[in-house]
A and B are shown apart, each in its own frame.
Chain A
Amino acid sequence: MRNPQLNANGELSHLLSIEGLPREVIIHILDTASSFLKVSTRDVKKVPLLRGKSVFNIFFENSTRTRTTFEIAAKRLSADVINLDVTRSSTAKGETLLDTVDNLVAMHADMFVVRHAASGAPHLIADHLQRIGRNDVHVVNAGDGRHSHPTQGLLDMYTIRHYKKSFGELTVAIVGDILHSRVARSDINALTILGAAEVRAIAPETLLPTEIRKLGVRVFHDMAAGLRDCDVVIMLRLQNERMNGALLPSAREYFRCYGLTPEKLALAKPDAIVMHPGPMNRGVEIHTEVADGPQAVILPQVTFGIAVRMAVMGILAGN
């Protein structure tokens, strides 16, 4: 079966998920991102690569932060960026997803950055573009349902490589609400492709997907045991809406068991780095002292995220 993310020459045409990406494509994106990182430190934070191209941010689910980082990345590539608040306009009026896409293609869109609550929505759009013969239009998944958030996965890999240089010897722990996290899925897939020695999932049973063990992940319910000798700790955001359901007793109880405190972090390797995709809930999944501490690389993640998204869009638009 054809890989829906690659064109006939095996080049990246859409970024839909980390799963199924060849290792060399991931490495190419990370290498290219390191060149873009320097662009953002110059007086003129722009390169002319996507001049004249139109990038449409179509977010069917709210996410100011992700949308903004894509917008900044596209603008630093000199693209024209159009943000569509589809939840309040077309969809509310009854237009289907693919009708919205067809309309934007008719306006000469070159790239869609798509966030959708339904898993597989970006894939559906990429499939549709191929069917109508528009291989020159590219799709970037900015998060679909519980499925995938590939650019977050890539920026996490960029961050890990930046601080740890290589993946082969690393033990990486992902902590928190793995059940609802597309970031966790993308990270696990990327770490597996890049050959991390061990990936751990630390969470209460109620916040773990049933198929988690099939992904080659070591599962821990006890944070102390799971963090021992880790090189990288990726904390996940506990979404407030989960608190009210039956999955968790209370925020305080969650913090006691799974919040990252300085004492728990001391169980990991002394040079372990702490990551978080943001936005953080201080005092729920992460202690303020850890979030602001010397091992936290949460703000560098944000900076790297722009460069990684520039690399993804720069590579896609040229293929």
Chain B
Amino acid sequence: MPAIELPDAESQCHQLAASIRPQLRPDTVLIGIHSGGVWVARRLHDLLQLDDDIGLIDVSFYRDDYGARGLHPRVKPSSMPFEVEDRPLILVDDVLYTGRTTRAAINEIFDYGRPASIQLAVLADRGQRQLPICADFCPWKIDLAPSQELILSADGNDRLEWSLVDHA
């Protein structure tokens, strides 16, 4: 298989912010999904100069594969430093894949209250969806095989970068 050229994740964050900006409302808040989504949400928060701090979600307690895989060994606390009730929310993740993580995150958000709306922003959509979920904001679509894993990581200077691992 020819090597896939991976885009620069930092400039993708700028593209994502630019696409979100026209739809921002004064009370919009961002919620990042641990851990890659939180990094992206922090970037967007700075680029969009939002007042409210971002929310953090770890979906471990809401996953649908708990029965098969047990509890994730490194659960992080979720935190919503704002009222969810009647707010327009943008859920932020690094990669959209099966849609199951998004489903779990939406379920968790509703345990904090009833938001006015939820939109989904991701850096990459890699296809292979298993649920009727799609991103509202996404700068990059790429078709990957199930054996491939697209990973966002932060280097020593806190710069975001992509890597691709093939488990085949």
Residues of A within 8 A of B (CB): 11, 28, 31-32, 34-39, 42-44, 46-49, 314-315, 318-319
B61 A49 Cβ-Cβ under 8 A: yes
A35 B60 Cβ-Cβ under 8 A: yes
Total interface residues on B, using CB and 8 Å? 22
- Please report the C-alpha to C-alpha distance between residue A25 and residue B63 in the assembled complex, in whole angstroms: 22
Q: How far is the CB of A129 from chain B (nearest CB, A)?
A: 18
A318 B75 Cβ-Cβ under 8 A: no
With CB as the reference atom, state the residue of chain A lying closest to B74. A31
- Please report the C-alpha to C-alpha distance between residue A70 and residue B138 in the assembled complex, in whole angstroms: 44
Q: Out of A32, A37, A42, A315, which one reaches B111, CB within 8 Å? A: A42
* Chain A CB within 8 A of B112 CB: yes
A-B contact count (CB 8 A): 50
- Please report the C-alpha to C-alpha distance between residue A192 and residue B6 in the assembled complex, in whole angstroms: 49
Q: List 27 A-B contacts (CB under 8 A).
A: A11-B70, A28-B73, A32-B75, A35-B58, A35-B61, A35-B76, A35-B77, A35-B78, A36-B61, A37-B77, A38-B79, A39-B61, A42-B112, A43-B111, A43-B112, A44-B110, A44-B111, A44-B112, A47-B61, A48-B62, A48-B107, A49-B62, A49-B66, A314-B61, A314-B71, A315-B71, A318-B69
- Please report the C-alpha to C-alpha distance between residue A293 and residue B73 in the assembled complex, in whole angstroms: 37
User: Contacts A37-B77, A44-B112, A49-B61 hold; do A32 and B71 have CB atoms under 8 A apart?
Assistant: yes
Majority SS at the chain A contact face: helix
Instruction: For A34, list chain B residues within 8 Å (CB).
Output: 77
A315 B70 Cβ-Cβ under 8 A: yes
Instruction: For A44, list chain B residues within 8 Å (CB).
Output: 110-112
- Please report the C-alpha to C-alpha distance between residue A291 and residue B75 in the assembled complex, in whole angstroms: 34
Annotate B86-121 by CB proximity to A: 1 below 8 A, 0 otherwise.
Answer: 000000000000000000000110111100000000
With CB as the reference atom, state the residue of chain A lying closest to B69. A318
Interface residues of B in 44-66 (CB under 8 A from A): 58, 60-62, 66
Majority SS at the chain B contact face: loop
Instruction: For A46, list chain B residues within 8 Å (CB).
Output: 111
- Please report the C-alpha to C-alpha distance between residue A44 and residue B78 in the assembled complex, in whole angstroms: 14
Q: How far is the CB of A271 from chain B (nearest CB, A)?
A: 25
- Please report the C-alpha to C-alpha distance between residue A314 and residue B70 in the assembled complex, in whole angstroms: 8
Instruction: For B67, list chain A residues within 8 Å (CB).
Output: 318
Instruction: For B113, list chain A residues within 8 Å (CB).
Output: 43
- Please report the C-alpha to C-alpha distance between residue A37 and residue B70 in the assembled complex, in whole angstroms: 19
- Counting chain B CB atoms within 10 Å of each CB, which of A32, A315, A319 scores highest? A32
- Please report the C-alpha to C-alpha distance between residue A230 and residue B71 in the assembled complex, in whole angstroms: 37
Q: How far is the CB of A108 from chain B (nearest CB, A)?
A: 15
Q: How far is the CB of A161 from chain B (nearest CB, A)?
A: 14
Instruction: For A35, list chain B residues within 8 Å (CB).
Output: 58, 60-61, 75-78
Instruction: For B74, list chain A residues within 8 Å (CB).
Output: 31
Q: How far is the CB of A21 from chain B (nearest CB, A)?
A: 15
- Please report the C-alpha to C-alpha distance between residue A43 and residue B70 in the assembled complex, in whole angstroms: 26
With CB as the reference atom, state the residue of chain A lying closest to B113. A43
Q: How far is the CB of B33 from chain A (nearest CB, A)?
A: 14
Q: How far is the CB of A247 from chain B (nearest CB, A)?
A: 44
User: Contacts A318-B66, A318-B69 hold; do A38 and B78 have CB atoms under 8 A apart?
Assistant: yes
Q: How far is the CB of B63 from chain A (nearest CB, A)?
A: 9
New A-B pairs, 12, CB < 8 Å, besides A35-B77, A315-B70, A318-B71: A35-B58, A35-B60, A35-B61, A35-B78, A42-B112, A43-B112, A47-B111, A48-B62, A49-B66, A49-B71, A314-B71, A315-B71
- Please report the C-alpha to C-alpha distance between residue A119 and residue B112 in the assembled complex, in whole angstroms: 42
With CB as the reference atom, state the residue of chain B lying closest to A45. B111
Q: How far is the CB of A260 from chain B (nearest CB, A)?
A: 33
